[in-house]
A and B are shown apart, each in its own frame.
Chain A
Amino acid sequence: MLLTIRSLTKTFPGTTALDAVDFDLAAGEIHALLGENGAGKSTLIKCLTGAYSRDGGEISLEGRPISPRSTSKAQELGIGTVYQEVNLLANLTVAQNLTFGREPTRFGMVDARAQKRQAEAMLEGYGLDIDVSRNLAAYSVAVRQIIAIARAVALSGKVLILDEPTASLDAREVETLFDVVRGLRDRGLGIVFVSHFLDQVFALTDRVTVLRNGRRVASERTADLNRVRLIEHMLGHALEDEVIAHGKTHDAAAAQRPELLRFENFGRRGHVEPFDLAVGRGEVLGLAGLLGSGRTESAELLFGVVEAHSGAARDENGTFDLSSPRAAVAAGFGYAPEERKEDGIVADLSVRENIALALQAHRGWLRRLSGAEQARLANNYIARLDIRTFGPEQPVGELSGGNQQKVVLARWLAMNPRFLILDEPTRGIDVGAHAEILRLIQKVTAEGMSILIISSELDELIAVSDRVIVVRDRRHVAELTGREITSDTIVRAIAAPQAGRQNSGEEAA
């Protein structure tokens, strides 16, 4: 065994994050580490990379016990990590990033030519043909991901931990990344792969370890597992059926819904071409398309994040103003943006304050919600949405991704909006929270709220949507209803007439 972990234990005030967890990693193996949010995956990785010091148990690398005290110590020992949000410096060149902290010097100055040579050597075998003297910012996330891997492998070279590496990649980029990872496995590295995408786990990994509530519940060869068994391990109870399966039935005779809103000729130059869109009461509208095709841009336009150049929004009382998020909120809109950390949560503030924020902003600064009212609101939604937190006073930044998403949803549900826009509400969160959020969408729409949901997971869109709008090249190109909503028709609408998107990394090169 390359890496052996025995009885690893880590406690935090009020909770045991890891309870006597065992984990083995062989050389030349890709080992998936799975679990719901809060199951202990991140804690295990942080203990391994020295970000946390463990409270008990043993870690040994190649038979020697190790206790990394910092990430740089862990790197020296041979354990490298690549995170979802790439930890590189976008304003430096690729070569500077690759050699950062170990720049080749000549007469005490950085030797740029040696640096470039060294960087090119480090990237050899990764199938990248890029100019290492250009800024990292010039390349796509996928290319940056591979550069980060190259750096981690060069620095460490024994164990490579990939923490959600595919979360912001499209299908082709994922395939490129997988080729790289398989190549590294064949070179004898032990690779820990953390992901929420079960398909990717089956496609890539040799073995799977599942954590739940800080304990190891399963460790099996991937080939011996199937999807349902794996989800059972992760959720801890047999699923009645996967939520995907008991989604909408899409009868052709779907009830005609009364119209709630209508956007006419709504558009903005350079952002989204003008479109018409009618929203029914209690309807779920799906918005499908590739990244950068105009999905998020449409959502931003509808919520007034950017102002429309043309068109109007109309309800039964006539046209209304959508020129700013404040105006949109006043019109009964809500928006859970795609970038949860940057645009969703206010990390340093408490769960209570985050949930109360939109309502408070809407009431105005003079009509303050008292602490007791805020707490009542927060406790109500913590219970209703099953938000896992130590309590309403815990800073939101300390919660896991799925629970942060629930806090953002709670913020809007507290407003009781008539039209809620959800941009990738389930990205980067675990299977359990995923199912809960989809169930929540079904519940609130049954109560009459209308929802626009953007997702890159077609299964999810198909399961929840009454109608699917397909966007391509910043234009609304198709509208599918009833039986037309199948992954086949959506993919065809996205793809036609020519595959629009190029790999930006290749373009840059």
Chain B
Amino acid sequence: MTVLRRIAPQLVTLAALVALVTLFFPDFLRIEVVDGRFVGPVMDIAKRGAQVGLLTVGMTLVVATRGIDLSVGTVMAISGAVAAWAITHDVSLAGTLALALTAGAAAGLWNGCLVALVGIQPIVATLILMTSGRGIAQLITEGRILTFSNEGLAFLGSGDLLGIPVPALIWFAAALAIALLMRRTALGLLVEAVGVNRSASALAGVNAAVLLVAVYVASGLCAGLAGIVSAADIRGADANNAGLWLELDAILAVVIGGNSLLGGRFSIAASLIGALIIQTIDTGILLAGFPSEYNLVIKAALVLVILVLQSPNLAHQWRTVGRAARRRREGVPLSAKAQGQ
């Protein structure tokens, strides 16, 4: 119930956006079954949104601790490169996935140590890996696009299970798992406490440093998973373009999800709807048939509108307008009565 109230603004925004896109593209919500697979714009969004969606899960946790992780797009490139390298060097599929995820976790550990132990500001600490990471990925791929033909790995990027695209399943499963981990254990409370007031939390006996490191590791793991999906999708690791600028989409999704960049209360569900909103905008603009050079401008305009509508200042204005309207409604019968007398 409280979860529903928390994500209500994001749900309303998503619904409004869907209505808007449907106006331009009436078949937007239509889902057909082709060869035992569900096909349609909505399924496309669920699949295409997987990469940003996965990054958003980790980013939500990092932001809740008053941090930010700029390196996730780059970490995608690293883990994708590791996956492609391993699978082309005859490592088993399980081994390949383990290696790629380990690469993501290691990147997160590096970030977490810089932030929690060395005490570098998160934006600077993660910027280091953001800039250097693509170099690392290029070293692994030796500067080429490292392609592979392993069907098992490719399945993670473009396969279907029960008619649903595998990336969408991975995304939702990861989000559900982490959301449950946060709320069924005390981690959610502890992360929020550290995000609001690290020193008070530490004095209350919360192991703030370890918690911070863990949050960045989680973000690295999510990015690693996203990198595998990205490489599997194109059956190759592109060190230059995999995950490019996606960290910014992930941050945007967290913000559209109503999570404060100042840390504290967080909602993974709201962030995920934020990611869906971004992907719906991306896909919707294409479907609506605008020339592609308009895409970024329209996207920016829509995001601006959403953020303005959600801003706390405006929420205050809305309440004032609502109260005034109520007073006017209640006032009208009174004055009408007065006139009648």
Q: Is the CB of B205 within 8 A of A347?
A: no
Q: Is the CB of A343 within 8 A of B200?
A: yes
Q: Is the CB of B205 within 8 A of A346?
A: no
Q: Is the CB of B200 within 8 A of A361?
A: no
Q: Is the CB of A367 within 8 A of B186?
A: yes
Q: Is the CB of A361 within 8 A of B265?
A: no
Q: How far is the CA of A346 from the CA of B189 in the complex (A)?
A: 11
Residues of B within 8 A of A305 (CB): 203
Q: Is the CB of B201 within 8 A of A346?
A: yes
Q: Is the CB of A361 within 8 A of B205?
A: yes
Q: Is the CB of A348 within 8 A of B190?
A: no
B278 contacts the other chain (Cβ, under 8 Å)? Answer: no
Please pick, from B187, B199, B204, the residue contacting A357 in the complex, using a CB distance under 8 A. Answer: B204
Closest to B263 in A: A348
B185 contacts the other chain (Cβ, under 8 Å)? Answer: yes
Residues of A within 8 A of B190 (CB): 360-361, 365
* Given A325-B204, A328-B205, A345-B197, 6 extra CB contacts under 8 A: A344-B200, A345-B200, A348-B265, A361-B205, A361-B207, A366-B186
Q: Is the CB of A326 within 8 A of B205?
A: yes
Residues of B within 8 A of A348 (CB): 192, 196, 264-265
Residues of A within 8 A of B200 (CB): 342-346
Closest to A326 in B: B205
Closest to A300 in B: B203
Q: Is the CB of A411 within 8 A of B204?
A: yes
Q: A348-B264, A365-B185, A365-B190 are in contact. Are A357 and B197 (CB under 8 A)?
A: no
Closest to A328 in B: B205
Q: Is the CB of B185 within 8 A of A366?
A: yes
Please pick, from A335, A343, A344, A365, the residue contacting B186 in the complex, using a CB distance under 8 A. Answer: A365
Q: Is the CB of A326 within 8 A of B193?
A: no
- Residue interface mask B175-194, A partner, CB < 8 A = 1: 00000000011110110110
Residues of A within 8 A of B248 (CB): none
Residues of A within 8 A of B207 (CB): 326, 361
A residues 337-363 in Cβ contact with B at 8 Å? 337, 342-349, 353, 356-358, 360-363
A residues 13-37 in Cβ contact with B at 8 Å? none
A221 contacts the other chain (Cβ, under 8 Å)? Answer: no
Residues of B within 8 A of A368 (CB): 184-186, 189
Q: How far is the CA of A503 from the CA of B9 in the complex (A)?
A: 54
Chain A: interface residue total (CB-CB under 8 A): 32
Q: Is the CB of B203 within 8 A of A325?
A: yes
B202 contacts the other chain (Cβ, under 8 Å)? Answer: yes
Q: How far is the CA of A342 from the CA of B199 in the complex (A)?
A: 7
Q: How far is the CA of A347 from the CA of B66 in the complex (A)?
A: 14
A2 contacts the other chain (Cβ, under 8 Å)? Answer: no
Interface residues of A (CB under 8 A from B): 303, 305, 325-326, 328-330, 335, 337, 342-349, 353, 356-358, 360-369, 411
Q: Which are the 5 A-B pairs with shortest beta-carbon distances?
A: A329-B205, A368-B186, A361-B205, A361-B206, A358-B204
Q: How far is the CA of A362 from the CA of B205 in the complex (A)?
A: 7
Q: Is the CB of B193 within 8 A of A346?
A: yes
Q: How far is the CA of A343 from the CA of B265 in the complex (A)?
A: 19
Tell me the minimal C-beta distance from A405 to chain B in angstroms. Answer: 13
Please pick, from A325, A344, A365, A367, the residue contacting B205 in the complex, using a CB distance under 8 A. Answer: A325
- Residue interface mask B243-266, A partner, CB < 8 A = 1: 000000000000000000000110
- Residue interface mask B128-140, A partner, CB < 8 A = 1: 0000000000000
Tell me the minimal C-beta distance from A48 to chain B in angstroms. Answer: 22
Residues of B within 8 A of A364 (CB): 186
Residues of A within 8 A of B265 (CB): 348
Q: Is the CB of B199 within 8 A of A363?
A: no
Q: How far is the CA of A357 from the CA of B206 in the complex (A)?
A: 8
Q: Is the CB of B199 within 8 A of A343?
A: yes
Q: How far is the CA of A346 from the CA of B264 in the complex (A)?
A: 10
Q: How far is the CA of A137 from the CA of B196 in the complex (A)?
A: 25
Please pick, from B187, B192, B199, B205, the residue contacting A358 in the complex, using a CB distance under 8 A. Answer: B205
Residues of B within 8 A of A344 (CB): 200, 203
- Residue interface mask B199-234, A partner, CB < 8 A = 1: 111111111000000000000000000000000000
Q: A337-B203, A361-B204, A361-B207 are in contact. Are A346 and B186 (CB under 8 A)?
A: no
Please list 10 pairs of residues, one from A and one from B, whose beta carbons are closer than 8 Å in the complex, sorted by A's number. Answer: A335-B203, A346-B197, A349-B192, A356-B189, A358-B204, A360-B189, A361-B190, A361-B201, A361-B206, A411-B204
Tell me the minimal C-beta distance from A264 to chain B in angstroms. Answer: 25
Residues of A within 8 A of B204 (CB): 325, 329, 357-358, 361, 411
Residues of B within 8 A of A366 (CB): 185-186
Tell me the minimal C-beta distance from A301 to chain B in angstroms. Answer: 14
Q: Is the CB of B193 within 8 A of A349?
A: yes
Closest to A366 in B: B185
Residues of B within 8 A of A346 (CB): 193, 196-197, 200-201
- Residue interface mask B272-311, A partner, CB < 8 A = 1: 0000000000000000000000000000000000000000
Q: How far is the CA of A348 from the CA of B201 in the complex (A)?
A: 12
Q: Is the CB of B189 within 8 A of A353?
A: yes
Residues of A within 8 A of B193 (CB): 346, 349, 353, 357
Q: How far is the CA of A365 from the CA of B192 in the complex (A)?
A: 13
Please pick, from A335, A349, A360, the residue contacting B196 in the complex, using a CB distance under 8 A. Answer: A349
Tell me the minimal C-beta distance from B320 to chain A in angstroms. Answer: 11
Q: Is the CB of A365 within 8 A of B187?
A: yes
Residues of B within 8 A of A303 (CB): 203
Residues of B within 8 A of A411 (CB): 204
Q: How far is the CA of A349 from the CA of B187 in the complex (A)?
A: 14
Closest to A357 in B: B204
Residues of B within 8 A of A342 (CB): 197, 199-200
Q: How far is the CA of A365 from the CA of B265 in the complex (A)?
A: 17
Q: How far is the CA of A361 from the CA of B202 in the complex (A)?
A: 9
Tell me the minimal C-beta distance from B81 to chain A in angstroms. Answer: 33
Q: How far is the CA of A337 from the CA of B186 in the complex (A)?
A: 24
Q: Is the CB of B186 within 8 A of A363?
A: yes
